[in-house]
Amino acid sequence: MKNILEIRNLSHAYDQAGSIIKDFNFSLKKGEIVSILGPSGIGKTTLLRIVAGLEDVMDGEVIISEKVASKKNFLLPPEKRNLGLVVEDRALFPHLNIEKNVMFGISHIQERESLAQEYLSLFKVADLSKKYPHEISAGQQQRVAFARALITNPDILLLDEPFGALDKNLKEELHEETKKIFKNKDLSVLLVTHDEEEAKYFSDRIIEFQEDKIFIR
Amino acid sequence: MRSSKIFSVWHGIPLFILLFFLAPILIILSSVFADYSENWSHIYEYVLGDYILNSLILVSGVSLIVMIIGSLTAWLVSNYQFFGKRFFEWGLILPLAIPPYILAYTFTGLFDSYGTMNEIARSLFNLEQNEMLFPNIRNIYGAIIVFSFTLYPYVYLICRTAFLNQSRSMFEVGRTLGLSQASIFLKLALPLVRPALIAGTMIVAMETLSDFGAVDHFAISTFTTGIFRTWYGMYDLTTAMQLASMLLIFITFCLVIERTSRKNANYSTIGSNFKPTQVTRLGSLGSFVCFFVCFIPIFIGFILPILEILNWSLRFNTSFFNEQFFSISLNTVLLSILSAILCTFIAMIINFSIRYKNSSVIKSINPFLNIGYAVPGLILAVGIVQLFVFLDNNILNSFELIFAYIIKSYALANSTYEAGYQKISQTIDDSARVLKSTGLNLLFRVHFPILKTSFFTSILLVTSEVVKELPATLILRPFNFETLAVSTYIYASEERMVEAAAPATAIILIGLIPIFFISQMIRASRLEKS
């Protein structure tokens, strides 16, 4: 199976004082779900942002779909990487209703409305399509965020603590549903989490970030 | 494919705007190296000393009074519960709606030998026609009163925030060490808000040095009246610019102190074990004293001038809202709104560029764009005239005027946008970019709709600021073009005070717009604390 994402000898630091990611190598296969596990401030989110093209790399390479996306002094912008991103605070656009939020990334497609309904139904929030983000619950917002990310048919889905703000029952319910959807759609997923249980349940592989060490399970 | 660090249009636009904003100021400063004419020698020999001395007396007197009024009233409303406290919290900023030149005109109407107050005194105490109870106000001491009672709210606002951020524990320790309430204010609270106090006072000093209307009406020789006379009386633009350079040095000095103090303004404030101030409920006498102390500044700075304008209006009842007034109002509103929209757009583009590119170059440009608020309107006007010396028709004159308004008001629009952007999470941008929304698409599909409130707030605030601007308008306005400020100035300088009522009332009403917004912020902070 071919690699959809490859990270080669990646090093990154916020300042010259010290690197938070050093000489990191990693690959993600098509349809694989991998979790990056570790405590806060260890560089997990930074790694995700580097893959998304939201941060430059200081050294090393990021290769997406066999094309160099980032290396020193070079950055393919996020909008050209065909990725999906879901973050802990959902980042739904507050001025758009749910349907328009989901259609945001496919505004150039003619069948956008039917496609939006399809994805809203997939995540069980079709009846909320005319509501605004502040009018629905955190769990429902997270479902909308997943629908918005998946509707663009991304090569890789990046998840940054997507279940972090949810209570235990809701989290378990969403874990089950989303994992099923990801597997059905054969999606490649990179999940950042500090929750070991979540990582174990969700992933085919776990990369554990600890101070000065990276373990692959 | 591109590098993220590449120089883009989002870097170019801010740099281009910076060049335009700084050009008039640099032109003024460059005059220092020009030849010095005979007029300069005359000014240097006979009047420069007066300009410097009067400016220093004015700034020192005003600074002392605003420090006392601003800090004392802020301390009372932050720490005591007394009759009218909720009103005073925002009511103390009401004088900001009245520009110093309008207070100067109304005070002349009130306290001149045949002014309203002396007329009332004569009829009450059966005084002779040549006897006066109230002294002449058209002198430097009168000017100090005028500036102090219109500008103290700057000190009040910044001190109130600083006092509210002081921890109760510190005062409790002070009390156990034997300090009285008054000593706590003087020995603990006040020294701890010193940076805030200095920052507020420096804003007042800059406003005082920048004023033209009030000092001109009181016939006080200061830098601004000197620049105006040199230009319009001696027709010597170069010497006017050389004088303006000297004033700019004074202003820069105040600006540096203000910026430094503002940075340190938080040194006494919220820490990890912060306990909010406990408001002390006062007895009847204490409540009365606090009410009186807070009421006096509002009475002098807002109620009294309003009463005098009402008095003028009643005497001018036949043609208060005549055709000329409506035409001037329309001129003013159109010009102000157009300037406000352009200024807000510039603030939007700059703040978007900072956010979008996250570039240290653009970030470092913004503080320089902000300095326009400190540059007197008169100096800006001189610089702009010199910059566009080749323009000579009415439409292009309007452009010069709008340009001056934009430079002067940019800081206001920028602070509104900065506050708005602080409320949008970076993840919104990240998500939008991953969904292929970049550049103008990101600006108009995501940021603009989210920041709609900031956009309209900025337009309202800048409009109300522009309406009040006198010296730049006076110099740069197209031929035969009047605004409310110019109309008020012309009537007042011709001693037709009664006729100044209509434009002055309109200016004050428009000036109440920012007061409304600040009062809403005060209300919101009160709700947050409770």
Residue B308 resides in a domain: no
> What's the whole-number mean pLDDT along residues A130-158?
94
Q: Which of A153, A169, A195 is the last residue of a domain?
A: A153
CA gap A131, A136 in Å, rounded: 7
Strand partners, A157: A84, A189
Q: Are residues B382 and B234 in the same domain?
A: no
Q: Are residues B17 and B72 in the same domain?
A: no
Q: Which residues of A touch B435 (CB under 8 A)?
A: 79, 104-105, 148, 152
User: What's residue B128's pLDDT?
Assistant: 80
Strand partners, A70: A62, A75
Is the CB of B438 less than 8 angstroms away from the CB of A77?
yes
Interface test with A, best of B355, B357, B435 (most A CBs within 10 A): B435
Q: Which residues of A touch B430 (CB under 8 A)?
A: 49, 52, 54, 78, 85, 87, 91
Closest-approach residue (CA) in chain B for A91: B428
A18 touches chain B (CB under 8 A): no
Q: Are residues A78 and A24 in the same domain?
A: yes
A115 CB-contact burial (10 Å; exposed 0-12 / middle 13-18 / buried 19+): middle
Examine the pLDDT at A17 and tell me if it is beyond 70.
Answer: no
CATH number at residue A165: 3.40.50.300
For chain B, what is the domain count? 2
In DSSP notation, A12-78 reads: E-SBTTB-SEEEEEEEEETT-EEEEE--TTSSHHHHHHHHHTSS--SEEEEEETTEEEEETTEE--G
Contact by Cβ (8 Å): B11, B362: yes
CA gap B384, A9 in Å, rounded: 56
Is the CB of B428 less than 8 angstroms away from the CB of A85?
no
Residue B468 resides in a domain: yes
Q: Are residues B353 and B489 in the same domain?
A: yes
Q: Which residues of A touch B450 (CB under 8 A)?
A: 93-95
Q: For B427, which of A89, A94, A104 is closest by C-beta distance? A: A89
Q: Which of B272, B304, B326 is the last residue of a domain?
A: B272
Q: Are residues B496 and B357 in the same domain?
A: yes
Q: Are residues B22 and B42 in the same domain?
A: no
Q: Are residues A149 and A163 in the same domain?
A: no
Is the CB of B435 less than 8 angstroms away from the CB of A89?
no
Largest CA distance in chain A: 51
Is the CB of A87 less than 8 angstroms away from the CB of B427?
yes
CA gap B201, B112 in Å, rounded: 29
Q: Which runs of consecutive H residues, i.e. helices, occur in B81-186?
A: 85-91, 100-111, 116-125, 140-164, 168-176, 181-183
Is the CB of B428 less than 8 angstroms away from the CB of A91?
yes
Interface test with A, best of B436, B446, B453, B454 (most A CBs within 10 A): B436
Residue B303 resides in a domain: no
Examine the pLDDT at A132 and tell me if it is beyond 80.
Answer: yes
Q: Are residues B467 and B355 in the same domain?
A: yes
A134 touches chain B (CB under 8 A): no
Q: Are residues B195 and B89 in the same domain?
A: yes
Contact by Cβ (8 Å): B75, B161: no
Neighbours of B399 (CB within 10 A): 16
Q: Are residues B73 and B132 in the same domain?
A: yes
Contact by Cβ (8 Å): B153, B512: no
* pLDDT > 90 fraction of chain B, expressed in percent and rounded: 54
Q: Are residues B47 and B3 in the same domain?
A: no
Examine the pLDDT at A188 and tell me if it is beyond 60.
Answer: yes
> Which residue in B247, B239, B237, B245 sits closest to B212, CA to CA?
B247
List all residues of chain A from 57 to 76 with a beta carbon under 8 Å from chain B. 73-76
Q: Which residues of A touch B433 (CB under 8 A)?
A: 54, 77-79
User: What's residue B1's pLDDT?
Assistant: 35
Q: Are residues A39 and A142 in the same domain?
A: no
What is the Cα B333 distance to its own chain's centre? 19
| Parent domain of B110 | 34-272
Strand partners, A18: A15
Neighbours of B292 (CB within 10 A): 11
Is the CB of A74 less than 8 angstroms away from the CB of B1?
yes
Q: Are residues B448 and B493 in the same domain?
A: yes
CA gap A106, A90 in Å, rounded: 18
Q: Are residues A67 and A100 in the same domain?
A: no
Q: For A56, which of B4, B425, B450 is closest by C-beta distance? A: B4
> What's the whole-number mean pLDDT along residues A51-57?
91
Who's near B240: CB < 8 A, 6+ residues apart? B227, B228, B230, B231, B382
Who's near B210: CB < 8 A, 6+ residues apart? B224, B251, B374, B375, B376, B377, B378
User: What's residue A215's pLDDT?
Assistant: 61
How many Å lie between the alpha carbon of B436 and the closest alpha carbon of chain A?
Answer: 4
Q: Are residues A134 and A204 in the same domain?
A: no
CA gap B120, B133 in Å, rounded: 10
CATH number at residue B371: 1.10.3720.10
Q: Are residues B367 and B446 in the same domain?
A: yes
B435 touches chain A (CB under 8 A): yes
What is the Cα A154 distance to its own chain's centre? 10
Closest-approach residue (CA) in chain B for A71: B3
Torsions phi, psi for A74 (to 5 deg): -145, 135
For the record, the structure tokens of B18 come out as: 């910076």
Q: Are residues B127 and B57 in the same domain?
A: yes
How many Å lie between the alpha carbon of B439 and the closest alpha carbon of chain A?
Answer: 11
For chain A, what is the domain count? 2
Examine the pLDDT at A123 and tell me if it is beyond 60.
Answer: yes
CA gap B304, B149 in Å, rounded: 11
Q: Which residues of A touch B445 (CB under 8 A)?
A: 104
A133 touches chain B (CB under 8 A): no
User: What's residue B250's pLDDT?
Assistant: 87
Is the CB of A77 less than 8 angstroms away from the CB of B434?
no
What is the model's pTM?
Answer: 0.85
Is the CB of A54 less than 8 angstroms away from the CB of B433?
yes
Is the CB of B438 less than 8 angstroms away from the CB of A79?
yes
CA gap A136, A140 in Å, rounded: 6
Q: Are residues A60 and A164 in the same domain?
A: yes
Neighbours of B16 (CB within 10 A): 11
Q: Are residues A28 and A112 in the same domain?
A: no
Residue B281 resides in a domain: no
Q: For B4, which of A75, A85, A158 is closest by C-beta distance? A: A75
Predicted ipTM? 0.88
Residue B12 resides in a domain: yes
Per-residue pLDDT tens digits for B68-84: 999 999 999 999 999 99
Contact by Cβ (8 Å): A42, A94: no
Neighbours of B459 (CB within 10 A): 20
Q: Are residues A41 and A141 in the same domain?
A: no
How many angstroms separate the Cα of B433 from the Cα of each of A83, A133, B42, B437?
Answer: 10, 19, 63, 5
Q: Are residues A185 and A175 in the same domain?
A: yes
| Parent domain of A7 | 1-82+155-217
Is the CB of B435 less than 8 angstroms away from the CB of A74?
no
Q: 3-class secondary structure for B420-435?
A: HHHCCCHHHHHHHHHC
What is the Cα B291 distance to its own chain's centre? 26
Is the CB of A52 less than 8 angstroms away from the CB of B427?
no
For the record, the structure tokens of B146 come out as: 């005028």
CA gap A209, A191 in Å, rounded: 13
Q: Which of B272, B298, B331 is the last residue of a domain?
A: B272
Examine the pLDDT at A146 and tell me if it is beyond 90.
Answer: yes
**Average pLDDT, consecutive stretches of 10 residues, N- to C-terminus, chain B (530 residues):** 61 93 92 90 92 95 97 94 93 94 93 86 83 86 96 92 80 79 85 88 92 94 92 88 91 86 61 66 91 97 94 72 86 94 96 90 89 88 85 72 94 91 92 94 95 91 92 90 93 86 90 84 65
> Which residue in A185, A147, A213, A204 sits closest to A33, CA to CA?
A204
Is the CB of A91 less than 8 angstroms away from the CB of B425?
yes
Rg (CA), chain A: 17
**A3-12, A39-48, B304-313: segment of lowest average pLDDT:** A39-48
B423 touches chain A (CB under 8 A): no
Q: Are residues A26 and A130 in the same domain?
A: no
Contact by Cβ (8 Å): B194, B166: no
* Angle, vertex CA B312, rays to CA B154 and CA B122, nearest 5: 100
Q: Which residues of A touch B437 (CB under 8 A)?
A: 79, 104-105
For the record, the structure tokens of B238 come out as: 């170069």
Examine the pLDDT at A87 and tell me if it is beyond 80.
Answer: yes
| Pairing assessment for the beta strands A59-64 and A33-37 based on DSSP bridges | unpaired
CA gap B501, B519 in Å, rounded: 26
Q: Are residues A74 and A161 in the same domain?
A: yes
Q: Are residues A75 and A3 in the same domain?
A: yes
CA gap A209, A215 in Å, rounded: 7
Q: Which residues of A touch B452 (CB under 8 A)?
A: 95
Is the CB of B430 less than 8 angstroms away from the CB of A83?
no
Contact by Cβ (8 Å): B133, B127: yes
User: What's residue A15's pLDDT?
Assistant: 59
**A-B contacts at Cβ under 8 angstroms:** 69
Is the CB of A81 less than 8 angstroms away from the CB of B4?
no
Q: For B450, which of A73, A89, A95 is closest by C-beta distance? A: A95
B52 CB-contact burial (10 Å; exposed 0-12 / middle 13-18 / buried 19+): middle
